[in-house]
């Protein structure tokens, strides 16, 4: 299990072990990479932020023991965030792979977004998350500037803007104005369209430059919005989304009222010893 303050390395230096995991992936070097550290006790926020900046991934997760499960916090290279799907999936994967938790039992995580749960379902990890439905909103000049026009619909939830584009091709080819995205006043911008292929129902991309993530490879938390959004339009509660980033990844979504179940695979790709002052 990864520990903060492991064996001594040199004078007053300690080895902090982290695992790098590709989440929403079935093979290495796809999906969304996250770093996971399982700590004996909570670490100071400046320290966690410094580690996340050093790892320079879209999220680094810090897991600590709790009375009923585990505490879980997520940091981008520049800021803490209050909801992250792929780093939660990665955290569950690491706990099970390292023997830190019983893989036959449901994991409970205590987070800034409340209690989240994760469990194994065949070759997937599934997670119970809060639904984050978007309310329709006007297509503002700022949104048009960020996307470059051609918006079919726009909406907003507490985290992000979501815009519907005319086609899958338009989503894949989009080159947003990232400076304009960073001025929207939200965590980020979701762009989406109905899929034209049979292996998924919708596609999306996600941009959050103000949090140090120009384009996120595969974003679990945006599917808390995308699930209800497409369930309403397609008339089905169980859907598969594909996030069409350069790495790409599938997210299985089941909408259950005020909750959503997100599912996907995970692959460990690295074990890292980070030397820190003890």
Catalytic residues: 59
3-state secondary structure the chain: CCCCCCCECCCCEEEEEEEEEEECCCCCCCCEEEEEEECCCCCCHHHHHHHHHHHCCCCEEEEEEECCEEEEEEECCCCEECCCHHHHHHHHHHHHHCCCCCCCCCEEEEECCEEEEEEEECCEEEEEEECCCCEECCCCHHHHHHHCCCCCEEEECCCEEEEECCCHHHHHHCCCCHHHHHCCCCCEEEEEEECCCCCCCEEEEEEEHHHCEEEECCCCCCHHHHHHHHHHHHCCCEEEEEECCCCCEEEEEEEECCEEEEEECEEEEEEEEEEEEC
């Amino acid at each position: 299990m990864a520990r903060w303050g492991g064996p001594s390395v040199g004078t007053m230096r300690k080895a902090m072990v982290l695992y790098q995991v590709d989440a929403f992936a079935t093979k290495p070097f796809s999906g969304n990479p996250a770093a996971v550290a399982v700590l004996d006790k909570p670490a100071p926020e400046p320290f966690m932020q410094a580690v996340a900046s050093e790892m320079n991934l879209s999220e680094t997760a810090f897991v600590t023991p709790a009375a009923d499960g585990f505490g879980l916090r997520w940091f981008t290279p520049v800021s803490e965030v209050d909801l992250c799907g792929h780093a939660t999936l990665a955290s569950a994967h690491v706990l099970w792979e390292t023997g830190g938790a019983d893989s036959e039992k449901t994991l409970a995580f205590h987070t800034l977004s409340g209690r989240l749960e994760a469990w194994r379902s065949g070759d997937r990890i599934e997670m119970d998350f809060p639904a984050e439905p978007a309310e329709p909103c006007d297509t503002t000049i700022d949104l048009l500037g960020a996307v470059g026009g051609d918006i079919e619909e726009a909406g907003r939830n507490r985290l992000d803007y979501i815009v519907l584009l005319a086609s899958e091709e338009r989503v894949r080819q989009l080159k947003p104005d990232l400076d304009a995205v960073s001025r929207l006043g939200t965590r980020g911008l979701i762009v989406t369209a109905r899929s034209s292929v049979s292996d998924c129902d919708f596609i999306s991309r996600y941009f959050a430059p103000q949090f140090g993530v120009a384009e996120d490879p595969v974003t679990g938390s945006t599917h808390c919005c995308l699930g209800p959004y497409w369930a309403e339009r397609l008339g089905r509660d169980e859907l598969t989304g594909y996030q069409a980033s350069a790495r790409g990844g599938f997210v299985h979504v089941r909408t259950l009222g005020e909750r959503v179940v997100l599912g996907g695979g995970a692959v460990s790709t690295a074990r890292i010893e980070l030397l820190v002052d003890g």
